[in-house]
Structure 1
Amino acid sequence: MAVNTNNVSSEHQSTCVPEQSILEVYFVALGQYNYDRAKELVEKEREVVRSQSNSSTWVSMLSMLSRLAVAEKNYASLTYLNPKWLFGKKEQSMRLTYTGLVTDLSSFELNGPGQPGSVQQINSFLSHICKQIHNFCEARAETVEFYDKLCPMVNQRTDVDYGELLSIVDRLIATHGDHFHHPLLSPIKQCFTLELEVLQSLLKAHHHMLDWLFLPTLLQLHNVHSKLENLGANIRFKEGKKSGVAIPSKTVGVPPLYQWLARFKAAQVSKFSLYFYGSLCKQADLKGHLSNLLIDYRAKIIAFHKKADAMNVSLVYDTNNAKDVFKGHGYHHPDSPHEVPTGLDSYPAIFSYPEEKPPIKLWPMVVMLLNSKAAELTDLDRVIYSFDKTQSMTYFVTRLEGRFSLVVIFNFKKSERDSYIKLFMQEMNLNLRGSNMFAGLGQKS
């Protein structure tokens, strides 16, 4: 249940020092993304106590809390990922903002206490809180560094190492999970933890999808859904079209960071619906569900197939040296025996249109192209063209990422320069490539 940031109960005020009451409301406001309210609160309090001779410690802390509120607002806005240049110099990075706070908080912890009686007791309490905030700012600085690492990957034309990214998030959770545990900081601790856990599950889902593991991917996406709901508990939503999730209303000041996480999840669900369409279509009527996704890949393929007069569009999975033995669509008992696919069967079409399976007579050429052009296909932007004169068949091939490739086949000769075909394949490539979602980090949603 959300806490009202405008009121602190009279009973609580009677049992807490004024500083603690202010801190409680301040941290609840931060946890509810109400950064302006948090900043206004501490600045008003600072003006009230500035004239008091025995309040220098509290005044200093209020100044740092005001800076923290500004830092948190900028962090959630993601604008720092598009650095600006002023008079030939790069603006101070978000990471330096937090490390600067860390330095000042360290000084405060050393110099805060030191007066007798009740003042010393209050200063000791404030120093302890500052130590907790110090740890939070250290964690934020490292998280900023992680997002800085993600942004350039959108331009990467080779596979992203999602295992490495996942290990960084795992380390952030393990290192900082218990370093700011005071009850007053619980609102920002909850947001910090949920944000990283959403990222962790998104990366795990993508990692499992690259190995074409249905159930582990599904469980991680469900985990993301639950944690996003908790993270956005204080946000008012309106349902967005073609989203796959409830898209936050832009009129209520929803942080772009949250919007990006929601869209990342929606993109993963869209891709999941294509990669595992063969399993999902057996469980329910998917037509209505697919139309509500961020991207309905099946509808895109059907529209392209009709307009381009293609014979077949297939998503191909390379099972060679895969993590698990390929068992095909559907549910399989983990201990059920399956032979390792060989030959043409080691390159199954996990999605095919218009038929559930592409014509087998065409598959030797597809497999030959995937093997002979493997070096060229490491460039994820590359579209390979081949015309088979003996069969009068045209093949277009592009690798999406990992073990997945997109193949379009025509039963007549097509021009290598056909712009509509190449545009379709490049668009599919960009959308299905996981690193494409990192572009939204440096842009306002």
Structure 2
Amino acid sequence: MEQDEAYLHTFFNFISQNHYDKAKDHVEKYKHVKKSGPWYMLMMQLSQLVVAEKSYMELEFLQSKIKGFLWKDNSLKCLYESVKGEIKKVEDSCKVHNQEKSVLNYCQNIAQFLSARLQLIDFYEHVYTIGHQKVINYADLVTHITTIIEQNIPLFSDISMTSIKAIFGLECDILSNLFKALVEVQKLQFLPSLVLIHGAHTGLTLWESKIQNRERTFQPWKLGFIKNIQWPTLYQWLSKLKGAVISKFSLYFYHILSQQTTPTDMKQLCSKLQYDSYQKIAYFHKKYDASVLLVSDNQFICVNSENDSFPIIVSYPQKICSNLDMILQMITDVSQDLSINDRIIFKYIVQEHCTYVLCIIEPTVYIVLIFESKRTEKDLYINNFISDLCINLRCSKVFLSLKDSLK
């Protein structure tokens, strides 16, 4: 490996390990060696890249932007575009003067990396926007991240960028696995969902090991004991998204999972989830003596229902619902209204002295509450219970947390 290539390799190693002070110092030292010409111009942009990468890992690309008549757009996206533009000028200069072919190659690879970063920023902005929607299309997010992966697999492949490309690949794979898992959970596909969640967990574990290796490398006095590691905010958010997906998976497949262990152990395991939906439902039942059902119309067979068209995903308490046909008809009658307006609909059946409360969680999944008394829309506790459950199962809260600091 040549000296210049080794220099860039070390620089991107520092960046991939979130060691930005080391990366900045590395650039400053090299500036004194390359005091002019294309290399010096490239060094100037690498200093800016350190700032951009640190901000990216802290999820600052969705923070407030200062704009006005005399103000430039100071967004992180603008910073990446600016660095990309300046590197393109260095690239053009090398072509015009037919010099520093190695710098030309590095500029092309770094520009490709910057384009990939901008694509991921657009993706996260898309995720945040979707978080405001009441009915979320996870398949759209899968298509988006798959396109980013396919477009960038052959790019920025220079050996000097091996480490940063590895982190980029981990980030994309984790996102892809988690959103694909959400699609499979929605379709009630147990094993595919489990495999995808495991894939995301493996990616996060590998990323975690790289961060821990950095701590051991630069703080040897800790003798291998990792204390107070500063996990990147992006890593924390991806972990939080994984937690939300696992929480949803655990509710949708509660019947299957509960058959693998004792009720006590199952309760204890669920208590460790990011959001224990099943216990929230159990507490609501205890307070109101109401039955809670989650039913699906996605045409996939659910193991705990003999009705393939509208399988029961969750039933609390676990008992056979004698009036299931009427409930399914009720859902069919109001499904369009539920989908369009995201309403919580109360229906009181006089003959049965029962109130049915319906709401859509996602395009194929509905929640139904059954009370053996009259209840009205004015009951805020019921409305809040349904809203909170739906927000967590849609993962909306996690999507929207992209704009809020996790520190």
When normalised by structure 2's length, the TM-score is 0.89
The answer to whether the aligner puts 1:106 opposite 2:92 as a matched pair is no
Q: 2-side partners of 1:163 and 1:287: how far apart?
A: 31
Q: 2-side partners of 1:37 and 1:407: how far apart?
A: 56
What corresponds to 1:315 in structure 2?
294
For residue 444 of structure 1, give the secondary structure of its aligned residue in structure 2.
coil
Aligned length: 390
Shift of 1:69: 0.9
Alpha-carbon RMSD across the aligned residues, in angstroms, is 2.4
Q: 2-side partners of 1:83 and 1:96: how far apart?
A: 13
Q: 2-side partners of 1:35 and 1:169: how far apart?
A: 27
Matched-pair contact (CA < 8 Å) for 1:270–1:296: yes
The answer to whether the aligner puts 1:347 opposite 2:310 as a matched pair is yes
Matched-pair contact (CA < 8 Å) for 1:139–1:172: yes
Shift of 1:414: 2.2
Matched-pair contact (CA < 8 Å) for 1:270–1:297: yes
The answer to whether the aligner puts 1:49 opposite 2:49 as a matched pair is no
Matched-pair contact (CA < 8 Å) for 1:151–1:439: yes
Aligned 1:427-438 pairs, distance under 5 A: 427-438=388-399
Structure 2 residues not aligned, in runs of 5+: 214-225
More displaced stretch, 99-108 vs 201-210 = 99-108
User: Which residue, 287, 298, 303 being the options, matches 2:267?
Assistant: 287
Q: 1-side partners of 2:379 and 2:141: how far apart?
A: 37
Q: 2-side partners of 1:154 and 1:172: how far apart?
A: 20
Aligned 1:261-410 pairs, distance under 5 A: 261-285=238-262, 286-310=266-290, 312-319=291-298, 322=299, 325-329=300-304, 341=307, 346-355=309-318, 357-360=319-322, 362-379=323-340, 381-410=342-371
What corresponds to 1:241 in structure 2?
none
Structure 1 residues not aligned, in runs of 5+: 1-14, 238-248, 331-338
Matched-pair contact (CA < 8 Å) for 1:308–1:421: no
What corresponds to 1:129 in structure 2?
106
Shift of 1:128: 1.4
The answer to whether the aligner puts 1:214 opposite 2:199 as a matched pair is no
Shift of 1:102: 2.1
When normalised by structure 1's length, the TM-score is 0.82
Note the alpha carbon deviations across 1:232-258, whole angstroms, 9 max, x for none. Answer: 222349xxxxxxxxxxx9953322111
Shift of 1:327: 4.7
For residue 253 of structure 1, give the secondary structure of its aligned residue in structure 2.
coil
Shift of 1:377: 0.6
For residue 211 of structure 2, give the secondary structure of its aligned residue in structure 1.
coil
Aligned 1:12-23 pairs, distance under 5 A: 16-17=2-3, 19-23=4-8
Shift of 1:156: 1.1
Percent of matched pairs sharing the same residue: 32
Shift of 1:161: 2.6
What corresponds to 2:235 in structure 1?
258
More displaced stretch, 427-436 vs 216-225 = 427-436
Note the alpha carbon deviations across 1:65-94, whole angstroms, 9 max, x for none. Answer: 111111111111112212323556573333
More displaced stretch, 170-179 vs 93-102 = 93-102
Q: 1-side partners of 2:365 and 2:257: how far apart?
A: 19
Q: 2-side partners of 1:250 and 1:137: how far apart?
A: 33
